[in-house]
Structure 1
Amino acid sequence: MASHVHPKHEGDDLTRVARTTLEKSGEQWTAMRGQVFEALATFEKPASAYDIAEAMSARAGRRVAANSVYRILDLFVNANLARRVESANAYVANAHPDCLHDCIFLICDSCGQAVHIDNDSISDTVRNAAQDAGFSPVRPVIEVRGKCADCD
């Protein structure tokens, strides 16, 4: 199995790498974007824009609109700072935003935990199958639902 190995960033290091990655893409790291990223990175499970807005509102003592968070999350997904768990309409911070690749989510139906794995042979197979069918793949979405080891 071909796996993709990379360093996992956490805490302030993750925020620093995310900021650098966003700025290299030509975007600005604003205070609001920084707050959204930091809130997203605190969640241990995939978080919706509403979850993030609620966490930010509690910290700021004022209401943060979920639609503003959605726009920033879309930017983060496009810049590789976050990954969208499609089946849950939720997001996770990308622990290695400086490394562009496809990922596969393993989502526990019991506890909601989502773990991502990197397997280049699987994602390459999906991309090649799409190309063989005359389709130009942009972002393969591979999600496996089931039970994690803790819930099994």
Structure 2
Amino acid sequence: MSGHSHQLHEGSSLRDAAARRMAERGEQWTDMRAAIFDALASFDKPASAYDIAEAVSGARGKRVAANSVYRILDLFVGANLARRVESANAYVANQHPGCLHDCIFLICDNCGQATHIDDDKLSGGVRDAAEHAGFAEVRPVIEVRGRCGECS
């Protein structure tokens, strides 16, 4: 997984990359999926399905149920368009959906900001240990909690 470069996307480039990724997987890029992705990408920290449902409801002028958002977020996680911050039950848009990396999050206990880093050496050790214990198709998610540089 290491030793390559990847392009980080933002704004319309991120949305276009997400739509391409869905098409590559044989999935449709519907108006609702686009609205949920746009809402997710607009947050500057991890967002819950309820946060996203509220944002999409406000933008569309009609209520969107959180359980509908959860289904789409699960699809996005599977397609590598979003990452789930497990300890917060929240999501962030993946800025490089064409690249598959294990998730390492640095989460600030004070402001809630989550920084995603790629360190295949660290997650590779976790992956190796899990495989040695008999786990198949391992995808480590590592979360480190503390205070970010701005809060410390």
Q: TM-score surpassing 0.5? A: yes
What's the counterpart of residue 14 of structure 2? 14
TM-score (norm 2): 0.95
Q: What do you get for the CA RMSD once the two structures are aligned?
A: 1.2
Q: Distance in 1 between matches of 2:39 and 2:7?
A: 21
TM-score (norm 1): 0.95
Q: Distance in 1 between matches of 2:24 and 2:137?
A: 24
What's the counterpart of residue 145 of structure 1? 145
- Unaligned ranges ≥5, structure 1: none
What's the counterpart of residue 45 of structure 1? 45
What's the counterpart of residue 57 of structure 1? 57
Q: Distance in 2 between matches of 1:25 and 1:77?
A: 13
Q: Which piece of structure 1 moves more, 19-28 or 107-116? A: 19-28
What's the counterpart of residue 105 of structure 1? 105
Cα distance per residue 1:27-68 (max 9 Å; x no partner) = 111110000000000000000000000001111111111110
Cα distance per residue 1:116-138 (max 9 Å; x no partner) = 10001011111100111112243
Q: Which runs of 4+ in 1 moved over 3 A?
A: 2-5
Q: Distance in 1 between matches of 2:121 and 2:4?
A: 9
Q: Which amino acid aligns with 2:11?
A: G
- Unaligned ranges ≥5, structure 2: none
